Amino acid sequence: MRMLNNSNPLRVPGLLGKLGVMTSIRDTELLEQSLLRTLGPLLGVLDTSLYRLDEAQLLVRVIHYHRSKVVDGDGVARMLERIEEIVQLSDVAPEVLALTDNVRLLGKPCTRVLEGGMLIAYPLLGAGEVCGYFVFRRDHEVSANEDATIRGVLEVFSNYYALLDVSQRDRLTGLFNRQALENNFERIWSAMAQPETFLERQDGRRHQGQGKYWLAVIDIDHFKRINDSFGHMVGDEILLLVSRLMQNTFRSSDLLYRYGGEEFVAIVAAENEAIARNVFERVRLAIEAHSFPRIDRLSVSIGYAEVDPEILPVEVLSRADRSLYQAKQDGRNRVYDFQELVASGIFPSPSYGDAELF
Ligand SMILES: Nc1nc2c(ncn2[C@@H]2O[C@H](COP(=O)(O)OP(=O)(O)OP(=O)(O)O)[C@@H](O)[C@H]2O)c(=O)[nH]1
C-alpha cells in the first residue's frame, strides 16, 4: 500500500464533499465563488483570486476570496470570509499581470518568486482557450499531489461552468437569457448597493460618485412584419445582427440579455441621466444606421429607468417596459426615460404604495 505523503494537506473526502457542493450550484457567479472557497482552504491559503477574461482574452472581472481568523469575546476562534468582486484593471498588481500573461501564452500554470513567497497562477480553460486564471500566493511551491488536485478541481469547475453557461445563454444570439437575468437579479441589486465593487469602465478607471445604473428594455420595431414577409430564417439573422450591433455599442462591462423574442434588457453604469440617455441613443442610432440584408432599414424602441437598489427589480423592469410601450405608441424608433415621462405628467408619479420595496 502506498502511504500518503504527509506534506500533502489535501483530504479526499473533504474534496469530494466540496465538489458536490460546487456542482449543486446553478449560477455561474456563485460557482466561481465556490471554486475559491474550495481551493483556498484545501491549499491552506487565506487569499485566492479568480480572473475572468472575455472572448477577446481581455480581463473583465476579478473575484477575491479572503479568509481571516477572528477570536470573539468568549475566546472562540472563527474563520471569517469575504468575497470581493471587482473589475478595476488599474488595481491589478503588475506582477499578477506579468504572470498571468505568461500563463495565457503558455496555457499552463506558472510561478513567480516574490519577496517573502511565491505567486502561483493556473489557467482556466474553456473550449480549449484560456478564459481566466486561478491565482494565489504562498510561501512554498505546489507539491505534485496539490498540483493534480488543483488541475482536477479546475477541470470539474470549467466543465460544469460551461454547462451552466450554456443554460444561461440564448442559443441564437449567445447573449445571456431571461433565466440568467432573473437568477442574477439579487446579486446585481446587492452589488449595485455597493457600487465601488461593481460594473467598471473597461479602461479600468473608477469614477468617484458614479454608482448609478440604468435598466433598459429594447425592442425591435415591427419585427413581426419581417417574419411575415421574409420568414423566420431572415428574422433570426436580423435578431443576431441586432444583438451584435448592441454588443459592439455597449461596453463589455454592461450587461445585455435577450429577454424575449425580439426584446432585450440592458443594465449599464452611467454617472447621470444624460449619459445614460446618450448610451441608449447610441444603440438606437447604431441600429438605425445599419443596412440589414433584405430589409435594409430597421429601428428599435427603448424605455429605461434608473436602478434603485431599494426598489424590487420587477418594478424597475416594469418602469422601463412602460416607457418602452410609450415610445412604441408615440411612433417607435425613440428612447424614453421613465423619470422624464413622470416629470412631464405622462406617467403618474410613483408613490411608495406602488413601488415594491425590499
Ligand atoms: N425569427 C424569429 N422571430 C421571433 C423570435 N421570437 C419572437 N419572434 C417574433 O417576433 C414578433 C414580435 O411581434 P410583436 O410582439 O407583435 O411586435 P412587433 O411586430 O415587433 O411590433 P412592435 O413591437 O409593436 O413594433 C412575432 O412575430 C414573433 O413570432 C425568434 O426567435 N425568431
**Tens-place pLDDT, residues 7-62:** 445 566 677 778 887 877 777 888 998 999 999 988 999 999 999 988 778 888 88
Mutate to test the pocket of ligand 1, among 178, 221, 227 (most ligand atoms within 8 A of CB): 227
With a 6 A CB cut-off, is 222 part of the ligand 1 pocket? yes
Task: Give the mean model confidence (pLDDT) for residues 147-167.
Answer: 91
Protein residue with its CA nearest to atom 30 in ligand 1: 261
Query: What spacing in Å lies between the alpha carbon of 261 and ligand 1's midpoint?
Result: 6
* Res. 356 pLDDT band, cuts 50 70 90: very low
**Rg for the chain, CA atoms, rounded:** 23
- pLDDT (tens digit, 9 = 90+) per residue, 104-156? 999 999 999 998 899 999 999 987 889 999 999 999 999 999 999 999 999 99
Protein residue with its CA nearest to atom 13 in ligand 1: 224
Protein residue with its CA nearest to atom 32 in ligand 1: 236
Question: Which residue's C-alpha cell is 447610441?
Answer: 282
pLDDT of residue 352: 52
C-alpha count within 13 angstroms, C-beta hemisphere, residue 332: 10
With a 6 A CB cut-off, is 178 part of the ligand 1 pocket? no
- pLDDT (tens digit, 9 = 90+) per residue, 293-308? 989 899 999 999 999 9
Query: Which range (154-163, 278-287, 339-348) has the least confidence?
Result: 154-163
- What values do phi and psi take at 69, rounded to 5? -95, 130
With a 6 A CB cut-off, is 170 part of the ligand 1 pocket? no
With a 6 A CB cut-off, is 132 part of the ligand 1 pocket? no
Protein residue with its CA nearest to atom 14 in ligand 1: 224
Rounded CA-CA distance 262/274 in Å is 26
Q: What is 176-343's CATH number?
A: 3.30.70.270
Each domain of the chain, given as residue ranges in start order, spans 12-167, 176-343
- pLDDT (tens digit, 9 = 90+) per residue, 69-90? 888 888 888 888 888 877 556 7
Query: What spacing in Å lies between the alpha carbon of 259 and ligand 1's midpoint?
Result: 12
User: What atom in ligand 1 is closest to the CA of residue 220?
Assistant: 20
With a 6 A CB cut-off, is 298 part of the ligand 1 pocket? no
With a 6 A CB cut-off, is 239 part of the ligand 1 pocket? yes
pLDDT of residue 225: 95
User: What atom in ligand 1 is closest to the CA of residue 301?
Assistant: 25
Domain 12-167 = CATH 3.40.50.150: no
Residue 176 pLDDT > 60, yes or no? yes
* Res. 186 pLDDT band, cuts 50 70 90: confident
- pLDDT (tens digit, 9 = 90+) per residue, 193-247? 765 544 443 333 333 345 789 999 999 999 999 999 999 999 999 999 999 999 9
pLDDT of residue 88: 58
With a 6 A CB cut-off, is 303 part of the ligand 1 pocket? no
pLDDT of residue 317: 96
With a 6 A CB cut-off, is 262 part of the ligand 1 pocket? yes
Residue 157 pLDDT > 60, yes or no? yes
User: What atom in ligand 1 is closest to the CA of residue 223?
Assistant: 20
Residue 6 pLDDT > 70, yes or no? no
pTM, 2 dp: 0.72
